[in-house]
Structure formats: C-alpha cells, structure tokens
Amino acid sequence: MKAFVIIKTGSTFPAIQECVGDFEDWIRERCGLTADLVPVIDASAGEALPPADGLAGAIITGSPAMVTDQADWMRFLARWLAQAVERGVPLLGICFGHQLLAQALGGEVDYHPEGREIGTVAITLTDHGRQDGLLGYLPETFSAHVTHAQTVIRLPANALRLAANPHEAHHAFRVGDCAWGVQFHPEFTADIMQAYVGRHAETLLQQGRDVDALKAAIGDTEAANGLLKRFYVYCVQRQE
C-alpha cells in the first residue's frame, strides 16, 4: 500500500508545543493514527519530499510562516504540490497549507484586509460544498477553529469554492477530484484554540478586540474535527 504522509510547514508556538504537542501530533490524533503509521516530512527544514506517485495522500500542515515570504522551501513545496495535483494525488492543505496550495495552482495570497480571524467561528458550505465528497457530510453551517492573518484573496481559476463566512470568503476549496484546502483548523481542540487566543491576547487587545468574548465563544468542533479521519479513509479506500 502507498504511504500516507504529513508534510510539515512549521511548528506551533514553543509553549503550546511543550504542553500539547505540535501540528502533526494533532493531525494524527484526529485521523486515529499513531506516529509509526504516518511519516512526517519537514519541508520547512528542507527535508526531501517523496515522489508524488508513491503516495496514497498527504496533509500539509499550518505554520507560523507567511506564504508571501516566498522562502526557497515554500517555492520548492509549491512546485511539488502542483505536480502532485497533476498526478491525481489526494491532498489536504490546512491554513498555511491551504494558502500555499492555492498559490501553487495559480491563486493569490496576501494579508487579510480586515486583520486576523481567530477563535471558534461559524462557517457555511456553498452549493458546491454541500455536494462535495469530503466536506458535504458537514452541517450546512458548522463551527470550526481559526487563526490566520493571511488569506487566499483569489482562488485558482479552476477551483470550486466550498465554504465561507462573513470574514473569510475562501474557507475551503477543491481543485480537480482530490485536492482540498481548508483555511480553518480541523486538527485544533477547544484547549488548543484557547492557547492560541491567549498567545495573541496582547496584540488583540491593542487592536481593540474583546479577548474575553473570544475565549468565551470557544467550543467543541466535532464535525470539523471529523474531516481529517474522513480524508484519511478516503485516501485508503482509493488504494483498495
């Protein structure tokens, strides 16, 4: 059977990592997998990316990095993502991974004009989203955890917009049959989201944001969390 991998594009804040682990740990847990079953390739550290043809699927993590920085490793990974899509490899990009995937396929990424979106928010499926094989099982409006300062301001020309909310027009998209990007974080728990709001609290207060209200609104996001295991099962079933 072909390998299912996580492509790491950075780490969470050290204080959060020390307490609850890192992006790849949360992704594996939501997929119901152990570390020995899911190789992690750290693209941000320059680790070699595997041949796309040998993969059952890949999840591209979030990152504190910004896509607009255009570091060498980002450009290399973007080329790899475009090749993987061309070869029909199932991909799921999360937050930074979602943005880099969009850019790799001809979209555009920049800072969101309204600033950071953070906390537990409501997201609504589009008509295409309700019909989508991966996201279509979600309620028409569902809760998800978010934290992002940049956004896909323009989708690739051949992308289908799958989900949005008043702040973020492109919370999810699909290109082709099996390449998805989600701006929200299906790997986050409520505790992780609380830690992120706490980490950004000083800046948010300086911007006039109500941090107490953001923390009070954080809740469980079981439907969104289920997206990761659903993607993994989809990848496995394609190999049978």
CATH number at residue 173: 3.40.50.880
Task: Reduce the secondary structure of 73-101 to three states and give it as a string.
Answer: HHHHHHHHHHHHHHCCCCEEEECHHHHHH
- For 220, the domain range is 3-239
DSSP state of 12: -
Is 185:9 a contact under the CB 8 Å cutoff? no
Number of structural domains (the chain) is 1
Q: Give the residue numbers annotated as catalytic, written as ranges.
A: 95, 185, 187
Torsional class of 147: left (φ above 0), alpha (ψ -120 to 50), beta (otherwise): beta
Q: What is the pLDDT along the chain (240 residues), one digit of tens a residue?
A: 799 999 999 999 999 999 999 999 999 999 999 988 899 999 999 999 999 999 999 999 999 999 999 999 999 999 999 999 999 999 999 999 999 999 999 999 999 999 999 999 999 999 999 999 999 999 999 999 999 999 999 999 999 999 999 999 999 999 999 999 999 999 999 999 999 999 999 999 999 999 999 999 999 999 999 999 999 999 999 987
